[in-house]
Structure 1
Amino acid sequence: MKNSNLTIWFTSSRAFNIQLKVSCVLLFLCCLYSCGQQESLDFSKEWLLKDEIVASITEPSFPDRIYSIIDWGAIGDGRTMNTNAFMRAIQKCAEEGGGKVLVPSGKYLTAPIHLESNVNLYLEKGAEILFSKDHGDYPLVNTSYEGTELINFSPLIYAKGKSNIAITGEGVLNGQAGIENWWPWCGKDTYGWKKGQPKQHSSLEKLKNHMSVKGVPVDERVFGEGEYLRPTFIEPFECENVLIRGVTIINAPFWSIHPFRSNNVIVDGVTISSHGPNNDGCNPEYSKNVLIKNCTFNTGDDCIAIKSGRNEDGRRVNIKSENIVIQNCKMIDGHGGVVMGSEISAGVKNVFVENCEMNSPNLDRAIRIKSNTKRGGFVENVFVRNLKVGQVREAVLKINLFYGIYGAQKGDYMPEVKNIVLENVQAENGGKYGILIQGYDEKPIERVVLKDVIIQKADSSYSMKGITHVNFINTFINGQLMNNSINN
């Protein structure tokens, strides 16, 4: 698929059928509510849609050819720069039609790695890629920062407009970020920043509240050295058929995995352990047909956060994230287990979460939706089942449409949330609230269902406003059977 056609993703008959079935299921769900038959709600049809989405996501395949970086002069001593060895091995692999670029056991220091189509970057067990601490080694590329496009430091592993790419194996990707590198730029002393040192705040103001608002072309939003905006770790940008499997990611400068305007993405068996600022685990943005499975997230921010652009930039791009499936994952520390927002201005649709475990005193929420009237956007069709929660700090389900962190976050774009379903969820310690919902009376949240949900040890069972109706089916909070329905 050509890059210019990346926004036209649903022309195949299979994709059209998925969209048609989604529409039919939503009509069925609305009819049940309008007919007063909430007690009999059965969501098996929605989960059949999940199966079709998964079946439509195919793994990339590669020729059986191996290109070892050792053959291009790489030295795995942790000190020698191997940028040219990586680059030449990848180029040769791509020129000859693709294959596996092999990283043998050892420690390999390098500048950012840029992948080409039909290349599988494979890390053997015992291999560790160390990314340079010298910010001068990072070229400027078209990327994104918290939902706003710009020209900035290259992500540590980057591909733009490529197809059939992979990062696989049993090795470690080490961003070498910490309290002396990258992290202090966030401006917080807990991450190494000291009074008088530079930080990101003025650059964020310029990018988000000047350039984006005024519609400055992306190629004129040039940042980099002296602007203190950290790069993402892995970013497939406008890519097709992406696989990230088996590797461990540590010490990320910023977001760890960021599929951006990409389609057909699989993240499988990845372990992310990074507790720096904004160290989200996996953040699909403007992306479609994404499967995240068998992963472990232990992060300094959201474990998984589904996004679609911030404010004016999100409305400019106007590509929703949709058909996101999350299976068999483990969430430890994080601000949220599975999150939608807050950069969500183009909307999120069709999210399926199943068979996941979430448990940590440092995990704030299990399922979270966040936006505000400056972000706007929508979240539609979120289905969660078979979720085991040990402990969360604030809530099992939190929907907050008054979210704000960078000053006043009020505007003229009312966010919309509807069709949120939790089934077979067990939480041993629900935190401050079992359910915490904060919506707007002017545009209330629609159709939230909890079926076969058990939440223990919540300080308060629920706190809800700005929602038309919550339907409880065989749901207990603090040992009390919830009323069949609550109208706000």
Structure 2
Amino acid sequence: MAVPLVRLLAAAVTVAALVTVVPPEPAHAATVSAPAATEPGWELADEIREAITPPRIPPRRVTITAHGADPTGRRDSTDAIAAAITAAARKGGGKVVVPPGEYRTGAIHLRSNIELHVSRGATLRFSQDPADYLPMVHTRWEGIELYNYSPFVYAYGVHDVAITGEGVLDGQADPEHWWPWKTEPDGHGGVVETEHRNALHAMAEQGVPVAQRRFADSKLRPNFVQFYRSSTILVSGVTLTNSPMWMIHPVLSENVLVDGVTLDSPDGPNSDGVNPESSRNVVIRNSRFNNGDDCIAVKSGRNADGRRIGVPSENIVIHDNRMFAGHGGVVIGSEMSGDVRNVFAERNVMNSPHLDRALRIKTNSVRGGTVEGVYFRDNDVPAVADAVIRINFHYEEGDVGDFTPTVRGIHIDNVHSVGGEFALYLRGYERSPITDITIRDSTFSEATTPMLLEHVRGLTFDNVTINGVSYDGTIDHGPRSHHRTPPALHQ
């Protein structure tokens, strides 16, 4: 049944080769057919939640103080923590308890059927000395495999593993430790980590075996918590703060639950909160994010190395979280060369002038990859700095590669926002437009520019208002068109 086409509104901005939608005169009115009903994809989200199983941890308790850990923080407790984990593992697993107190430690390596329980009043303070994270381990750094410093808490090839409690894991990264590798000039036009970062990228492109990808005196910062090729994982209740870079990083892992965790590292570079990478069946809920980079970023490997491994991230459910500072609330990319599909985010509150975007997908033709099946509903965005919805094929390198990305099937329902430079910022390629975006029952208020569009096909509105103006129908934009009058809307 036809319904009236109402006016489209945008601020008067000019961006070369971009589409901006501007207000029509009343004579431009037309009729369009009503959009289709809500997509059924949320049924899969419920199935994912129901399929998550808790780790099987024997009831046995082992305290780290019984193995010599020092709760005063005067002596290093690394060996005592390792001894407690080994003692529990030899008996089939159990809960390794960190009692109240402050404990100095280096790398902690978890094993199958082990729960590291950081009690209320307990703080694990991780060493600021890189030597305490040697020997090097098999890890992934910004989407590329190598041997590097151990993550502060690391689990490789394990099952049924947990980090729980109401205590604190303090990475002790600060402007004098870890962070300067990303921020201080190296005297050659880059920052301290540039040389090793560039060398790692070259190794991956040249197919150098992973075992040979390592650097003496590496300047590549370790992740905080990483689960690698592991399954049935729980992180619950704890607070992580002052991270060297990515905070919780499941890689090539399955059946992961992050529940009720506080991730607080707003000053650290690349201090993403939770980054599932090439992982499946992941639920992130009831958590608080305050980060110096993306709050949650779904990834699947970078460039040649991501394509070599070829494992997507899929079946990711994100719900009932609160997000404050960060480059993005729910983000996909930019390391997404192995594809991402079936990402669901609902009932999240994203509320900070220091949060740049609510939903973000970032890629380019060097990264490539396909993103499909993204569902974003019942999310409130009382404050945002840049864009509420931002999908950009021109991230970092831009369109200079041979691996054209694909983004399709984005479903946005009942989202309400205030502020931002853009309500929608969607930039695809002429040869690969962003395809099939549906926005329903949503309001975007006080956006400086309602829409900036480039190469978008099938952008459908149903009961949407932007800056108080109603949108219904579908917009298609052909290659590199620039409209001063509204584009036609149709079925």
TM-score (norm 1): 0.89
Matched with 2:326 is: 334
Q: Among residues 134, 138, 144, which one is paired with 2:133 in the alignment?
A: 138
Matched with 2:175 is: 179
CA distance in 1, matches of 2:315, 2:444: 28
Matched with 1:480 is: 469
Matched with 1:15 is: none
Residues 431-460 of structure 1 show CA distances to partners (whole Å, capped at 9, x for unaligned) of 111000000111111100100110000001
CA distance in 2, matches of 1:452, 1:273: 33
Matched with 1:8 is: none
The answer to whether residue 354 in structure 2 is matched with residue 354 in structure 1 is no
Q: Among residues 64, 69, 89, which one is paired with 1:74 in the alignment?
A: 69
CA distance in 2, matches of 1:294, 1:164: 21
SS of residue matched to 1:158: strand
CA distance in 2, matches of 1:424, 1:173: 36
CA distance in 2, matches of 1:148, 1:435: 31
**Unmatched runs of 5 consecutive residues or more in structure 2:** 1-31, 478-491
CA distance in 2, matches of 1:413, 1:434: 28
Distance 1:195 1:79, change over 3 A: farther
Question: Which structure 2 residues correspond to residues 298-377 of structure 1 after superposition, within 5 A?
Answer: 298-377=290-369
CA distance in 1, matches of 2:191, 2:105: 26
Matched with 2:157 is: 161
Residues 394-437 of structure 1 show CA distances to partners (whole Å, capped at 9, x for unaligned) of 11100001100xx56621110000000110001122x1110000
CA distance in 2, matches of 1:424, 1:468: 22
CA distance in 2, matches of 1:203, 1:408: 23
The answer to whether residue 449 in structure 2 is matched with residue 457 in structure 1 is no
CA distance in 1, matches of 2:450, 2:132: 52
Matched AA of 2:54: E
Matched with 1:447 is: 436
Matched AA of 1:207: L
Matched with 2:105 is: 110
CA distance in 1, matches of 2:284, 2:189: 41
SS of residue matched to 1:441: coil
Contact 1:182 1:253 (8 Å CA) reproduced: yes
Q: Among residues 110, 124, 127, which one is paired with 2:122 in the alignment?
A: 127
Matched with 1:232 is: 223
Q: Greater shift after overlay, 329-338 or 59-68? A: 59-68
Percent identity over the alignment is 45
SS of residue matched to 1:178: coil
Matched AA of 1:394: D
Point out the structure with the larger helix share. Answer: 1
Shift of 1:194: 9.3
Shift of 1:142: 0.4
Residues 228-254 of structure 1 show CA distances to partners (whole Å, capped at 9, x for unaligned) of 100000000000100000000000001
CA distance in 1, matches of 2:260, 2:402: 41
Shift of 1:78: 2.0
Matched with 2:24 is: none
Matched AA of 1:41: A
Please list every run of at least 4 consecutive aligned residues from structure 1 whose deviation after the TM superposition is greater than 3 angstroms: 193-198
SS of residue matched to 2:255: strand
Q: Among residues 430, 437, 442, which one is paired with 2:426 in the alignment?
A: 437
Matched AA of 1:338: V
Matched with 1:390 is: 382
Shift of 1:188: 4.2
The answer to whether residue 251 in structure 2 is matched with residue 260 in structure 1 is yes
When the two chains are superposed, the root-mean-square deviation of aligned CA atoms in Å is 1.6
Contact 1:167 1:245 (8 Å CA) reproduced: yes
CA distance in 2, matches of 1:39, 1:213: 45
CA distance in 2, matches of 1:152, 1:307: 20
CA distance in 2, matches of 1:80, 1:476: 60
CA distance in 1, matches of 2:119, 2:187: 39
CA distance in 2, matches of 1:184, 1:285: 25
CA distance in 1, matches of 2:208, 2:44: 40
Q: Greater shift after overlay, 46-55 or 299-308? A: 46-55
CA distance in 2, matches of 1:216, 1:395: 39
CA distance in 2, matches of 1:358, 1:52: 25
Shift of 1:48: 1.2
Shift of 1:483: 3.5
CA distance in 1, matches of 2:209, 2:400: 25
Count of paired positions: 444
CA distance in 1, matches of 2:120, 2:213: 40
Greater relative CO (CA pairs within 8 A, separation 6+) = 2
TM-score (norm 2): 0.88
Matched with 1:207 is: 200
Matched with 2:418 is: 428
Matched with 1:412 is: 402
Shift of 1:195: 9.7
Larger Rg, first or second structure (1 or 2): 2
SS of residue matched to 1:79: coil
**Unmatched runs of 5 consecutive residues or more in structure 1:** 1-35
Matched AA of 2:86: Q
Matched with 1:250 is: 241
Shift of 1:133: 1.1
Shift of 1:60: 0.8
Contact 1:330 1:356 (8 Å CA) reproduced: yes
Contact 1:54 1:291 (8 Å CA) reproduced: yes
Question: Which structure 2 residues correspond to residues 285-296 of structure 1 after superposition, within 5 A?
Answer: 285-296=277-288
Matched with 2:22 is: none
Contact 2:393 2:399 (8 Å CA) reproduced: no
Contact 1:38 1:471 (8 Å CA) reproduced: no
SS of residue matched to 1:205: helix
CA distance in 1, matches of 2:451, 2:188: 41
Matched AA of 2:90: E
Distance 1:367 1:137, change over 3 A: same
Contact 1:198 1:228 (8 Å CA) reproduced: no
Contact 2:158 2:229 (8 Å CA) reproduced: yes
Contact 1:120 1:168 (8 Å CA) reproduced: yes
Distance 1:107 1:195, change over 3 A: farther
Contact 1:423 1:453 (8 Å CA) reproduced: yes
CA distance in 2, matches of 1:263, 1:37: 42
